[in-house]
Amino acid sequence: MTGSFSRGLAAGAAGTTVLNAVTYLDMALRGRGASSTPEDTIDAAVDAAGTKLPGKKSERENRRTALGALSGIGNGVAVGVLASLARTAGVRLPTTVGAVATGAAAMALTDGATTALGVSDPRDWSSKDWISDAVPHLAYGAAVQAVVEAIPSPSDKPKRKASGGLTVRSLLLGVATGCRSSLGLSAPALTNPDGGAVRKLGAVGAIGAELYADKLEDTPPRTSPQGLPLRFASAAGGAGALSAREDANAAVPILAGLVGAAAGTWGGLGFRRWAGSAGIPDWQAAVIEDGVGIALALAATLPGRKRARPVLTTV
């Protein structure tokens, strides 16, 4: 059997090969040129770092092209590894759903980086642009899913079906994460009876830091390209942690967590705007949202906890 990480490397490599093949086939059929987005992304990243590529002009162009290609390969391999690790952790999606989800994750990672760096804005894309981006990524997702399902790993264990209660609690934790992003991962860690003191202290610190930062005027909005993906990732991670407590398939709970995160994010944003129009000071509205988020997180994470069995010793 192959380890989960090695399987992910193989899946990512296979998916990246398929993505490139579909892209080049599209170029051959339509006679279109290669996209300059990878190179433009490297330029933007270098500018953001306040540096420049070394060498003469021709050497810089060559390095720019190479780094753009390597970034795409790295993205493809990384998502393949994450897909394999997610399966090992208990996320078992149907084949078609898994292929679409994996392709969408790779697409979101790439497009999120270009959007954050100001290289491209998907809101300005035409339908042809979306198709040109989506089809290769769907092919990538199908290849990754096929490899992950075909190669067993000794870490893969059968998972029970997620209960309705687990799904509802994952939804509530997602809403809480939409209010305060740190709650997604910190609340399960804090309420885990088997968690160590260091982990719980770190969870308290993360929650406290966000509660403080939320009251600052220069804190980026929760829907910013930098913060929104982390908020959804935290909700997914929290749902996965709750599923691990019950040794359950995390696919449906994670989906519920993501839905909850969307509701909490835009619901909280709407509440803060309403509070401002009603004359309620923003810090008071923020404290109210703090309380709602913490209450939802506790309601989601306190039930269903597993306590460690006492170790029996003989005298």
DSSP-assigned letter for residue 248? B
pTM above the 0.85 mark?
Answer: no
- Tell me: pLDDT of 189 over 60: yes
What is the C-alpha to C-alpha distance for residues 275 and 144, in angstroms, rounded to an integer? Answer: 46
Residue 304's pLDDT is 58
3-state secondary structure 47-80: HHCCCCCCCCHHHHHHHHHHHHHHHHHHHHHHHH
Strand partners, 160: 248
Q: Is the pLDDT of residue 309 over 70?
A: no
pLDDT per residue as tens digits for the range 126-148? 888 898 899 999 999 999 999 99
Contact 15, 150 (CB under 8 A): no
Query: Which class for 144: exposed (0-12), middle (13-18), buried (19 or more C-beta within 10 A)?
Result: buried
- Report the amino acid identity of residue 300: A
pLDDT at 37 over 60: yes
pLDDT digits (tens, 9 = 90+) for 247-295: 888 889 999 999 999 999 999 999 999 999 999 999 999 999 999 999 9
* Residue 72: closest CA among 8, 20, 33: 20
Report the first-to-last Cα separation within the chain, whole angstroms.
42
**Residues 82-97: tens digit of each pLDDT:** 999 888 877 888 889 8
Task: For 95, list phi and psi in degrees, rounded to 5.
Answer: -55, -50
Q: Calculate mean pLDDT across residues 215-223.
A: 84
| Cβ(143)–Cβ(216) below 8 Å | no
pLDDT at 209: 93
pLDDT the model gives residue 238: 93
Q: What is the pLDDT of residue 144?
A: 95
Lowest mean pLDDT among 58-62, 122-126, 144-148, 153-157: 153-157
Rounded Cα distance, 292 and 209, in Å: 17
Please provide the average confidence, as pLDDT, over all residues in the chain.
88
**For 167-178, what is each residue's pLDDT tens digit?**
999 999 999 999
Span 148-175, mean pLDDT?
87
> What per-residue confidence (pLDDT) applies to 225?
73
